[in-house]
Amino acid sequence: MERNHTLLQFFEWHVAADGDHWKRLRDAAPDLKERGIDGVWIPPVTKSVSPEDTGYSVYDLYDLGEFDQKGSVRTKYGTKEELHEAIAACQEHGINVFVDIVMNHKAGADEKETFKVVEVEAENRLEEISEKPFDIEAWTKFTFPGRGDKYSSFKWDFNHFNGTDYDAKKDRTGYFRIIGENKGWNEQVDDEFGNYDYLMFANIDYDHPDVRGEMISWGKWLADTLNCNGYRLDAIKHISHEFIGEFIREVKEHTNDEFYMVGEYWNEDVEACGAFLEETDYQLDLFDVTLHYRLCEASKAGNDFDLSKIFEGTLVEKYPMNSVTFVDNHDSQPGESLESWIDDWFKKSAYALILLRKDGYPCVFYGDYYGVEGEHSMDGKKELLDPLIYVRYNKAYGEQEDYFDHPNTIGWVRHGVEEIKGSGCAVVVTNGDEGEKRMFVGKHRKGEEWVDYARSCVDRVTIDDEGYGVFPVKAGDVSVWALPDIE
């Protein structure tokens, strides 16, 4: 029987810019697999504007830490050779590697160009605030002098973009839509701010046929070059839905149907996410942003939050086969653009809610697992999370029965499967006082003594003759009960 899969996001925003991160991944691979993690999402591998940049200010998509550009040969995370070594080490240990790819914009151009634009309103990109088109001087020409024509001879200029945010001529920022034949904001994007095609830097124009061809060619090249197992697609609510669908189809046909895709469509509106999934033929998964915010709200509200409704209206509830569940990530961590950090007291419970249920593909955050560096530094919770990951890999199987019958104390049972000896578990979560749940785990379990893998409760629970256990939980905590593997 196939075991449960668990994904680890192997970076946080402030991970050390020492060029050693690919080495850290290579060295961590054996331990990760032993813990029950069989997938890693790695940060952008492409050359960015500086060796300190996290990778989302992408400069050259074909430079994976190979050419002397933007201040170094390596990226923030290491060299191309070290990247290959890390991927190989992961795959040798049965860990799939999913690469973060940034296709919305380009930054750090090599030359300036002069062209016509109209300025648009920041809060409504469809509203023009300049009386007529005017010239700006902007950084939009990419010639890649350090790489030349190796891997691709495509050179970018202003014709390949539809917007930018800086006029070097007058040294001022704004939202500038580039004027040209058949050029405008792409309409197949999120409708926040009227039209959310433009996000930052030089915005790639996916209405341009040469751009579409080049980006699909690059997507195939990257998969071949790295022999990776899939992609995490960044900022896709700002990119043409039609292009995303085309890109996924082309790359999957070039690689194989098992090539995995997950998209960052940062929108709490599950209906909008569902529409995107339908438009792209359900070829990819999406991160469950709604559940993330629900977990964040629960951590702030304490016992005023109704836990019995925590999954209502989430992506994992409505689209369980296309949902990647997560607690926090690099954008939600303190000080970052989408800060919405789950408070410490609820963190273990939040992870139990994504790791130990049957639906969704759970993603553990590097910052929670290993810790966060920088101004908002904090220690990792590896010792807290490893037991939950262990239970997911070894116990959390079979039919799921929910006991969501109280606003502050909820529970569920996984009844286990014959193929995995000792599988099955019972979970209790509370945001209030200590309590207990009487839950049915099976008549065949009578007399078994279960222990709390979450290490909150020390006493054992004996399953009664009817197959029920009374499972306690400490105040504001989670308990995870299962048959011990070793006495």
Tell me: the pLDDT tens digits for 372-382?
999 999 999 99
pLDDT for 31 equals 98
Residue 231: which of 208, 255, 204 has the closest Cα? 255
Say if residues 389 and 32 touch (Cβ distance below 8 Å): no
pLDDT for 64 equals 98
Expressed in percent and rounded to 5, the helix, strand and coil fractions of the chain are 30, 25, 45
* C-alpha–C-alpha distance, residues 295 and 340, integer Å: 10
pLDDT range class, residue 425, cuts 50, 70, 90? very high
pLDDT for 371 equals 98
Shared domain for 378 and 407, answered yes or no, is no
Say if residues 436 and 481 touch (Cβ distance below 8 Å): no
Shared domain for 234 and 328, answered yes or no, is yes
pLDDT range class, residue 278, cuts 50, 70, 90? very high
State the average pLDDT for the chain: 97
pLDDT for 143 equals 98
Shared domain for 47 and 154, answered yes or no, is no
User: Does some domain include residue 79?
Assistant: yes
Give the tokens for residue 429: 């979560």
User: Does some domain include residue 127?
Assistant: yes
Shared domain for 378 and 408, answered yes or no, is no
pLDDT range class, residue 219, cuts 50, 70, 90? very high
Which of the residues 119, 207, 264, 359 is marked catalytic?
264
Shared domain for 240 and 378, answered yes or no, is yes
**Residue finishing a domain among 175, 208, 241:** 208
Q: From start to end of 33-110, where are the E strands?
A: 39-42, 47-48, 58-60, 96-101, 105-106
Shared domain for 237 and 99, answered yes or no, is yes
Shared domain for 151 and 73, answered yes or no, is no
Judged against a pLDDT cut of 60, whether residue 401 lies above it is answered with yes
Shared domain for 22 and 99, answered yes or no, is yes
* Eight-state DSSP code of residue 341: P
**Residue finishing a domain among 330, 364, 394:** 394
Instruction: Tell me which residue has tokens 């007058």.
Output: 170
pLDDT range class, residue 37, cuts 50, 70, 90? very high
Say if residues 259 and 101 touch (Cβ distance below 8 Å): no
Average pLDDT score over residue span 42-60 = 98
Tell me: the pLDDT tens digits for 441-458?
999 999 999 999 999 999
User: Does some domain include residue 487?
Assistant: no
User: Does some domain include residue 23?
Assistant: yes
**Entry pTM:** 0.97
Average pLDDT score over residue span 404-413 = 98
Shared domain for 20 and 90, answered yes or no, is yes
Tell me: the pLDDT tens digits for 288-302?
999 999 999 999 999
% pLDDT > 90, the chain: 99
User: Does some domain include residue 260?
Assistant: yes
What CATH number is attached to the domain comprising 126?
Answer: 2.40.30.140
pLDDT range class, residue 171, cuts 50, 70, 90? very high
Shared domain for 147 and 218, answered yes or no, is no
* C-alpha–C-alpha distance, residues 58 and 44, integer Å: 8
pLDDT for 406 equals 98
Residue 226: which of 377, 391, 86 has the closest Cα? 86
3-class SS of residue 318: helix
% pLDDT > 70, the chain: 100
pLDDT for 247 equals 98
Shared domain for 64 and 196, answered yes or no, is no
Tell me: the pLDDT tens digits for 64-113?
999 999 999 999 999 999 999 999 999 999 999 999 999 999 999 999 99
User: Does some domain include residue 449?
Assistant: yes
Average pLDDT score over residue span 37-54 = 98
pLDDT for 368 equals 98
Give the tokens for residue 58: 């992408």
Query: What are 435's strand-pairing partners?
Result: 473
Say if residues 268 and 289 touch (Cβ distance below 8 Å): yes
Tell me: the pLDDT tens digits for 204-217?
999 999 999 999 99
pLDDT range class, residue 3, cuts 50, 70, 90? very high
Which residues fall within 8 angstroms of residue 209, CB to CB, at 6 or more apart? Answer: none
pLDDT for 341 equals 98
Judged against a pLDDT cut of 70, whether residue 487 lies above it is answered with no
Q: What is the dihedral of CA 154, 105, 63, 38, to 10 degrees?
A: -130
User: Does some domain include residue 180?
Assistant: yes
Residue 364: which of 21, 36, 26, 1 has the closest Cα? 36
Q: For residue 306, indicate whether it is catalytic.
A: no
Angstrom distances, CA of residue 24 to CA of 114, 227, 328, 358, 370: 44, 19, 21, 31, 11
pLDDT for 461 equals 98
46-52: long-range contacts (C-beta < 8 A, 24 or more apart)? Answer: 46/75, 46/101, 46/102, 47/75, 48/75, 48/76, 48/107, 48/108, 49/107, 49/108, 51/17, 51/19, 51/75, 51/76, 52/17, 52/76
**Residue finishing a domain among 183, 208, 233:** 208
CB-count exposure of residue 271 (10 Å: 0-12, 13-18, 19+): exposed
Angstrom distances, CA of residue 358 to CA of 300, 402, 410: 26, 11, 16
User: Does some domain include residue 1?
Assistant: no
AA letter at 169: K
Average pLDDT score over residue span 246-262 = 97
Shared domain for 279 and 383, answered yes or no, is yes
What CATH number is attached to the domain comprising 250?
Answer: 3.20.20.80
Which residues fall within 8 angstroms of residue 372, CB to CB, at 6 or more apart? Answer: 12, 14, 333, 334, 378
Tell me: the pLDDT tens digits for 312-322?
999 999 999 99
Note the Cα 183 to chain centre separation in Å: 31
Which of the residues 53, 197, 234, 448 is marked catalytic?
234
Average pLDDT score over residue span 248-263 = 97
The domain total for the chain is 3
pLDDT for 362 equals 98
Q: For residue 234, indicate whether it is catalytic.
A: yes
Domain with 94 in it: 7-103+210-394
